[in-house]
Amino acid sequence: DDVHGRGGVMIEGEVQRFLVGCALASLNLLYAREVVIRAKVPPGWVRLMLFLPCLASHVLFPANNFDPLKETMAAAVSFTNFGWWTNFKLMGLAFGRGQLVGKVGSPLMFLAAGALPIKEEGRGPKHGSGRRTRSASAAEAKVARDLSPSATLARACCRIPVLCTVIYAAPRLQVGSFALNLCYSFGLYAVLGFIFDIAGLVSSTVFSITLSPHFDKPFLSTSATNFWAKRWNLVAGTLLREVIYEPIIEGSMTALPSKGSKSRNPPKPSTARRLAATTACFLASGLAHEIIMWYMCGAREFGWEWTAFFTAQAPLCALEWFIKRQTKLRFPTPLAIVVFLTVQLTIAKFLFFPPVVRQGLDQRVINDVKRILGLP
């Protein structure tokens, strides 16, 4: 009972500090909104310079207020959400890009979109002449059902048994084995999914924000391109596209005018430019993950394996594109899924999982999840 009492006190302290982090992010976001609305600072480098104190505080607060060796999950969530995702949203706003641009008129919506790890529903072009097809309407209705508060809550609850299975299965599997790495992959999916589901539940019920799915059955991916662009962690993927990919494709950090300009429909980007943009996205993602790993391991080392793992995805996607374009080679869907998982888990075996095991991060995550869930 004494152990559970201390654990409860720790969790309460972590929640309080996380809420303080949310309050800090809210103040920073309101300041950024004032820079845009009242000061009327145009998109560009000057606006980014005015945002720099906010960006720095989002990194420094979790780094100085959470112990990653003892409060592993709270530290990881705080550092990743505020230090990476919220900061990327502010960087996008600095150059007139991203989902915060359309939220400056509503303070509450602006705060929710900026502080929570969510992906708002996209507003792409309509089919054909503006009419929605029956299949498109049916697909939209299905997405709406899947993202309803009740469905989101049910999905979050369903991830807990997955986590429990991973927690008790992992110690029985051989270190470095395909089975253990696959088990850890499901565990990572369950943890991230639970975080996004809770954030989505708050966004949809409190702020009435219409969301897009944050995952789309990633273990059914048929290629690396399909996995990273359409199925895995679409919160991070969207931010990387807005802050890294689109500026390179457009040749401008500041968003191009959307109306009344010849630059509205720029020339189709070359293959080399698309490859450079894709590589830059994966490199930025790798560096962000590397910094998170460095922080989570008590600032002990930069192993660069995570940077290499994510950067390696760029030539893999390019190879897939080349094969698809230059040959008629097509795998049946079940075989494509098996090939993709085998290739990814092979790369991960040498680059993603070794630093996790070497630094004991896997065991610390397992122990912390057990502590939070009150498991023996």
Mean pLDDT of 327-332: 85
- pLDDT of the residue at 130: 46
Output phi, psi for 95, to 5 deg: -110, 20
pLDDT in tens, 99-133: 899 888 889 999 999 999 988 776 443 434 445 45
Mean pLDDT of 30-35: 96
**Interatomic CA distance for residues 98 and 245, integer angstroms:** 12
pLDDT in tens, 163-200: 999 999 999 999 999 999 999 999 999 999 999 999 98
Local structure of 326: helix, strand or coil: helix
Residues 6+ apart with CB under 8 A from 343: 224, 316
Mean pLDDT of 30-39: 95
**Interatomic CA distance for residues 244 and 277, integer angstroms:** 7
Query: What value does the CA radius of gyration of the chain take, rounded to a whole number of Å?
Result: 21
Q: Using alpha carbons, select from 125, 284, 113, 288 the residue that is nearest to residue 202.
A: 113
On whether the CB atoms of residues 32 and 111 are closer than 8 A, the answer is no
